[in-house]
Amino acid sequence: MNIKSFIKTFALLIVLYPGILAGQKNVAAKLKKPEQQTVVVYGASVAATTSTRIWVDELFGRLDKRYPGKLTCYNISKSGVNSFWATENFKDSVLSKKPDILIFGFCENDCVERFNFWPWYSGKCAEYMIDNLKKQNPEAIVIMYIMSEFPIGNAATTRPEIKAFNDSYREVAKKRNVLLVDFSKEFKDIYEIEGEKVFRSYQGDGILPSKKAAYEVIVPGFLKAMGIK
C-alpha cells in the first residue's frame, strides 16, 4: 500500500467514543445555527509553535470557509506547559472567551518525566476543564485529542509512560461521553508500514506534527470527528 492510499484509508479512522454519532450531529447542528459561535483550541507545543500549529490554522480556515462569518476562533495554546498550567489558567484563558466548542489536549506534555505527574492527575485535570466549561455553558461541546503514542529518540526517553497518560484521556472520554480524536494509531501505523523516514516527515520526534501531518491526517481527522464534509 503506498502512503497516499494509506492516508486515504486510515487517516479518518479516528478513535471516537460512545457519543460519536450524537456528538457529530451536535457539532454540525451547532455550527449551522445562525448565532455567532466561538471555537477555542487549548493545548501545548503541538498546537502552539509556528511550525506545529499549522493544523490549528488550517482547521480554523476550513471551518471559516464552511461557515463564513459565523465563527470566532482562538488558539490559546502555549509551548512547554501541562495540565496543571491548563487548569490554573482555564478561567482567564478559556472561560473568558465563552467557547461554544472547546478542543483540548495536554497528554503529550503531562507525561514528560520532569513534570512528575501521574496519569490519573492528567485525567482529573481534563474532567476539571470539562466540568467548568459545562457550568458556564451546558450546551458547549468538548473535543479532546491525543496526538501521539509513539515518540522516538529523546522524546521517547522523556515520556516512558505516554500510553498510561493517553489512557487517562480515553477513560475520561468514555466516562463523560465526549468526542476524543485519537491520532496515535494512525501515526504508529505510518511508522510500522512506511518506516521511520516517512514517519519523521509527519512527526519528526514522534510528538510534534509537521505541515504534512496537518494537511493529510490531523485536519481531516478533526473534520471527520465533527461531522463536517
pLDDT reported for residue 157: 97
User: Largest Cα–Cα distance in the chain?
Assistant: 49
CATH number (domain holding residue 221):
3.40.50.1110
> Whose CA is closest to 128, among 92, 186, 172?
172
Cell of 31: 455550527
For the record, the C-alpha cell of 21 comes out as: 454519532
Question: For residues 200 and 31, is the Cβ–Cβ distance under 8 A?
Answer: no
Strand pairing category for 37-43 and 71-75: parallel
Which residue range is the domain that position 112 belongs to? 3-225
3-state SS track over the chain: CCHHHHHHHHCCCCECCCCHHHHHHHHHHHHHCCCCEEEEEEECHHHCCCCCCHHHHHHHHHHHHHCCCCEEEEECCCCCCCHHHHHHCHHHHCHHHCCCEEEEECHHHHCCHHHCCCHHHHHHHHHHHHHHHHHHCCCCEEEEEECCCCCCCHHHHCCCCHHHHHHHHHHHHHHHCCEEEECHHHHHHHHHHHCHHHHHCCECCCCCECHHHHHHHHHHHHHHHCCCC
Domain tally for the chain?
A: 1
Q: Along the 229 residues of the chain, how does pLDDT read in single tens digits?
A: 455 555 544 444 455 544 554 555 678 888 888 899 999 999 999 999 999 999 999 999 999 999 999 999 999 999 999 999 999 999 999 999 999 999 999 999 999 999 999 999 999 999 999 999 999 999 999 999 999 999 999 999 999 999 999 999 999 999 999 999 999 999 999 999 999 999 999 999 999 999 999 999 999 999 988 888 7
